Chain A
Amino acid sequence: MAKKIPQINASSMADISFLLLIFFLVTTSMDVNQGLARRLPAPIPPDQKIEDTEINKRNLLVVKINSVNQLMVQGQLMDVRQLKEEAKKFILNENDESFYPKLFEEDFGAPFGMMKYTKEHVISVQNDVDTQYQAYLNVQNELVAAYNELRDECAHKYFHKAYKDLDEDLQKRINKIYPQKISEAEPKNYGGN
């Protein structure tokens, strides 16, 4: 008669794996790390003289946020929900208005061809020391959204695809047409109401 191998009692296996499972549940977190990606400007070397770069007034969109989170765009009170449309109009300047940035014509290569774009536009965000982080992020978010929408529209027009589905190379070329220029001044105490 063949020798029977005694069966190993595996009933505690379930308990062991339960313990492991619970350990992982406790030590891990579900939230994915996501955020609004931005790039800071390089620091100014201390020996360098600060030059006042002259920016033509029409090329500048000034967005100010005060200490009670009110928004002022080009000297006018505005709701943050309108900011995206305003920024898009500013970046595009479709009708070549004199109060929007100057248009430059440049050849971007096939399939874009000659295109007019506002090469020198700058969006300047200024906030108060007491501005709430959420309000600041809302503004940043709307401005980034404006660029993203313009780029996406361009991608749909020329490639019939969403911007995020394009190759990196094509994305870079679209970025050239809509260069992201958000400048941030250091916060000042503008005071509230």
Chain B
Amino acid sequence: MAKIRRNEKREMPALNTSSLPDIIFMLLFFFMSVTSMKEVSYKVQFQNPQATELTKLEKKSLVRYIYVGTPTAEFRKQYGAETRIQLDDAFADKSEIGDYIVNQRSAMKESEQGLMTVSIKADKETRMGVIADIKQELRRAYALKISYAATQRTSY
């Protein structure tokens, strides 16, 4: 005969969550390995130009960055909307590039100094006059290996 179990408590069995940390850790390690730390906080905003013949910058420790773009909204009042150069965490004049490169290079291991690459991260709307000035400064500082940062173009 069927027994009517009305008075019995129907509690949900506790879900075993002991493996949850492991799963999260796996996610964490995945993200740690595929992403890279932000180099600096951007004070200029830029949109990378597009190109097809791209090469990856291999060793992070050998790369130095020069950012070129218009100041972000919070700095616009102070610095205007003209194209500006950012080195590390601060706005810089183009005349400071040479010193910056020399300083950065002397901080490197001697065997690696010749391998230093300068990545120019410039907005695609930038006028070439600015870029040419930067290139001249880099030439003068003997930083001849450069890379124009760009994103992969999929179509015209």
Contact = CB atoms under 8 A, between A and B. Distances in A.
* Size class of the contact patch on chain A: 35 or more
A137 B144 CA distance: 18
B20 A137 contact: no
B35 A133 contact: no
B32 interface: yes
Given A35-B54, A186-B136, A13 B148 contact: no
Question: Which of B128, B139, B147 gathers most chain A CB within 10 Å?
Answer: B128
A36 B152 CA distance: 10
A40 B131 CA distance: 13
A1 interface: no
A185 to B, nearest CB: 10
A81 B123 CA distance: 22
Interface size class of B (residues with CB under 8 A): 35 or more
A36 B51 contact: yes
Interface in B15-59: 17-18, 20-21, 24-25, 27-28, 31-32, 34-38, 49-57
Nearest to B128: A131
Contacts of A37: 55, 117, 145-147
A105 to B, nearest CB: 29
B124 A35 contact: no
Nearest to A131: B128
Interface of B: 17-18, 20-21, 24-25, 27-28, 31-32, 34-38, 49-57, 60, 63, 117, 119-120, 122-129, 131-132, 135-136, 138-140, 142-152, 156
Interface of A: 10-11, 13-14, 16-18, 20-21, 24-25, 27-43, 81, 127-134, 136-138, 140-141, 144-145, 148, 186-187
13 contacts: A21-B27, A21-B28, A24-B32, A24-B35, A33-B119, A34-B150, A35-B149, A37-B55, A40-B139, A43-B142, A138-B51, A141-B150, A187-B132
